[in-house]
Chain A
């Protein structure tokens, strides 16, 4: 190792003089090197911030911030109405809120999931991550966690607003708190499910546009198809079928699951939820299976990427 120039030694000894010494030589780094959990956490925070455009260009903040505002606005209005008209309960359940605004959530996911993973693939940044101490699973955990957390903030914040409004309007504390808790639980499951599906679709292609289209297509087509077939079943009087059909789209999965498990108000055609306990358990198993499956698929996806 060559001796460092004298200037470097001086600069290292008197840090205050750094500003005046321009040509200091190369200095080695003797500080700490933190472990994989720090690296994973750093990537998680960076991805989560990125999902709202923070730490990125002003342009990339526009869409997520608008969608965030759109999600929160109705909650604020409901609060205002509840407070001024002295309602005895909120006009909707906490668990219903995300279902009513599912289009906004779908749009957010379609825009931000590709942002999170397609960019690294498209600009071939992935090899730089894997040439560092982190392992494949660290990358997947950080990206999956960040997407789910971003969705949870999107879905959960309006629920917090609703809850605070309900407390201000002096609604029944116990009932509101229980409803709020159920709402957050459903929001957490929805965030994990949607986040996983969105990332798997986005990671299939380095092309951002395809990722956006794939996410929108999957969510709207599956929801449209399930709802149409449920409507047909309704007219044929096949109520049990309505309850089972909900298994075939992400939104109706959450709807059915919270109806059965959390006693939420069903948004299925005719208001029929899963017909029995077995069907309800199916919803839970399918949701958990899809979350685990998305994680496994992402792990598989990055196995081949390596140094590309």
Chain B
């Protein structure tokens, strides 16, 4: 069994299998935001147990929503998390929170400042995973913010440079992923949007990934890290998500990363960048964005099928994962649901056409299959 086949549902209708999933974040229901506000108000009487219950309800709701849309691998929509850097920094020793800063317009975040050596304190995502896994009928993916992005998106008052800082964090991410794998997680996605911002640092991200996957294996046995081309054992799938950047500045270096899958946003500019990955041969699996994460109009099944075909310019069907461009947290829920539902329908239709030998595009052409 390859690491990918373990996610094929038992009742999967087609021989071909285009794994469908999401990047991770999802619009929070209004009552979740309200519950968090109450929990953060000292005099509200809304205690930790109340918040826990609200967060559990939300995670159950969104996990179920992903399953109803038909996704093969689901996420809880990151209902317990605040912001992608802040959430982790609160759980790592070495940070202070000097105050809010602007991201755009009147949107701010509580940007952490590292003031001491970072150290692993408490698990970051193990509880989140265990709960989601317990309520989900489908396999669960765990998105985790990568060390380079945490380093780049926080203030650095302590380390000599970003490289040293990112490597220190990478060792902590390694510990967290070990804990997640021990808890049963088999699909991890490292989010590194900061790489799109400073693509010249692709080697730093590469070294972070080597540290992250070091000795990660199921049951702690036969760690795959001895094989530099694939640091993780077969049972654990590690993806990397990078969005909104110039991919030509990090490819083909990505081929050397110890990852199973590279997740990209390409629909946003209508696949103008797809050719970047065509030469030299793309080595990891490709997780292809096929719906827009920042436009509320739901793409038709037909349109999404056309988008999926773009992926075959780069990888054959057995290496193609289908996903939105980015997290869906900024879309209205109905739009996000509609996009996921159409995405799954489109993937199943393409699979049927592949089974029937009707698709003659790039690496999906029957002769190449």
Task: Indicate whether A and B interact.
Answer: no
* A residues apposed to B, CB below 8 Å: none
